A = this chain, B = another copy of it.
Amino acid sequence: MSGSGSEKKTKKEVERLPPKESFSEWYHEIIQRAELMDIRYPVKGLYVWFPFGFKLRQLVYSKLREIMDRDHDEVYFPTLIPETELGKEGEHIKGFEDEVYWVTHGGLDELDVKLALRPTSETAMYPMFKLWIRSHTDMPLRVYQIVNIFRYETKHTRPMIRLREITSFKEAHTVHRNFEEAEEQVNNAINLYKEFYDFLAIPYMVLRRPEWDKFPGAAYTIAFDTIMPDGRTMQIGTVHHLANNFAKTFEIKYETPDGDHEYSHQTCYGISERCVAAVVSVHGDDLGLVLPFEVSPVQIVIIPVLYKGKEEAVMERAKMLENSLKSWGFRVVLDDSDDRPGAKYYKWELKGAAIRFELGPKEVESEEVTVSFRDTREKFRIGLDEITAGKIYEWAEEMKKRLRAKAFDTMKARVRYFDSFDNPEMLREWINRGVALVHFCMSEECAERIEEGTSGGILGSFEEIGEWCEKGKEGRCIICGEKGVLSAVSRAY
Describe A's contact surface by its main secondary structure.
mixed
Q: Which of A1-9, A311-319, A404-412 contacts B (4 or more CB under 8 A)?
A: A1-9
Q: How long is the Cα–Cα vector from A55 to B85 in the complex, in angstroms?
A: 27
For residue A309, CB closer than 8 A to chain B, the reply is: no
- Measured in the bound complex, the distance between the Cα atoms of B73 and A152 in whole Å is 30
Q: In the complex, what distance in Å separates the CA atom of A84 from the CA atom of B147?
A: 26
Query: Known: A99-B106, A141-B1. Contact between A131 and B38, CB under 8 A?
Result: yes
Residues in chain B near residue A137, CB distance under 8 A: 6
Closest-CB distance, A260 to chain B (whole angstroms): 14
* A138 to B82 Cα, complex, angstroms: 44
Within 8 A of B (CB), among A53-90: 54-55, 57-58, 73-80, 82, 84-85
B51 touches A75 (CB 8 A): yes
Q: Which residues of chain B are near A113, meaning CB under 8 Å?
A: 43
Residues 91-104 of chain A: 1 if any B CB is under 8 Å from the residue's CB, otherwise 0?
A: 00000011111111
> Which residues in window 234-276 of A have CB below 8 A to B?
255
Give min CB distance, A304 to chain B, whole Å: 21
Q: Is A387 interfacial (CB-CB < 8 Å)?
A: no
Determine the chain B residues whose CB is within 8 A of the CB of A46 once the complex forms: 78, 80
Q: Are B103 and A107 in contact (CB under 8 A)?
A: no
Q: Is the CB of B108 within 8 A of A164?
A: no
Q: Which residues of B contact A57 (CB under 8 A)?
A: 76
Q: In this complex, what residue of B is CB-closest to A38?
A: B128
Are A132 and B1 interface neighbours, CB within 8 A?
Answer: yes
Residues of B within 8 A of A99 (CB): 106-107
In the complex, chain B residues whose CB is within 8 Å of the CB of A135: 5-6
Report the minimum CB–CB distance from A63 to chain B (whole Å). Answer: 17
Asked whether B115 lies within 8 Å of A43 as measured between CB atoms, the reply is yes
Give Cα A55 to B76, complex, Å: 11
Contacts A80-B43, A128-B38; is A134 near B3 (CB within 8 Å)?
A: yes
Is there a chain B Cβ closer than 8 Å to A402's Cβ?
Answer: no
- Chain B residue nearest in CB terms to A102: B105
| Pairwise interchain contact A43-B102, C-beta atoms closer than 8 A | no
Residues of chain A in range 185-219 having any CB-CB distance to chain B below 8 Å: none
Could you tell me the distance between the alpha carbons of A180 and B322 in the complex, rounded to whole angstroms?
A: 34
Contact B100 A102 (CB under 8 A): no
Q: CB of A307 within 8 A of chain B?
A: no
Residue of B nearest to A52 (CB): B73
Chain B residues contacting A51 (CB-CB under 8 Å) are: 73-75, 143
Closest to A135 in B: B5
Q: List 8 A-B contacts (CB under 8 A).
A: A3-B132, A4-B134, A5-B134, A38-B128, A42-B82, A51-B74, A76-B167, A100-B106
